[in-house]
Structure 1
Amino acid sequence: MNAHPQFSEDSASADQASPQVPPPPRLLRLPEVIDRVGLRRSAIYQRMSEGRFPKSRSLGPKCTVWVEEEIDAWIRSIADKPHRDAR
């Protein structure tokens, strides 16, 4: 019995031929943004207008989305800030 798994030449060459491509950017709707950042709708739009939150994109008259990476970067920027003393 062979202890090493056997791969066909097709699967091995396919792995080498296709470089790792990053996934395409995801777009998030408002309910998912709210869940991720823990802010209410009004706070999100207030901070957007002040330039303190990523801008949304319009996909149509009633469809607004945010780019996932921009939301993730915003979360990281908040997490990287030092804690404020509770005094």
Structure 2
Amino acid sequence: MNKIPESGFLRLRQIIGNKQKGEQGFFPVSASTWWKGVKEGRYPQPCRSLGQRITAWRAEDIRALIESASAGGNN
């Protein structure tokens, strides 16, 4: 698994992985589970300022989510 960058942005497949291609993500849940979590506020909101058709999340937000989950927080 790759390391989360100090800053920058991550696309969804980098975060959750891609089981069909055998790629492991940083937070391995299904895409539908991820989007449900975003809607419910359990997962960070995407940053949509990158472009009209580009959805990405701040690396800092994903790192905080992983740290929270590993510390026993809700995921």
TM norm structure 1? 0.62
Which structure shows the higher helix fraction? 1
Is there any run of 5+ residues in structure 1 with no aligned partner, and where? 1-22, 83-87
Aligned length: 60
Counting only pairs closer than 5 Å after superposition, residues 1-87 of structure 1 correspond to structure 2 as: 25-34=7-16, 35-58=25-48, 59-81=50-72
Query: How far apart in 1 are the matches of 2:6 and 2:61?
Result: 13
The amino acid of 2:68's aligned partner reads: S
For residues 68 and 40 of structure 1, the distance between their equivalents in structure 2, rounded to whole angstroms, comes to 19
Task: Report how far residue 24 of structure 1 moved.
Answer: 6.6
Q: Which protein, 1 or 2, shows the higher relative CO under an 8 Å CA cutoff with sep ≥ 6?
A: 2
Whole-Å separation in 2 of the counterparts to 1:49 and 1:24: 26
Identical-residue share of aligned pairs (%)? 32
Q: Radius of gyration: which is bigger?
A: 1
Q: Which runs of 5+ in 2 are unaligned?
A: 17-24
- Determine helix, strand or coil for the equivalent of 2:29: coil
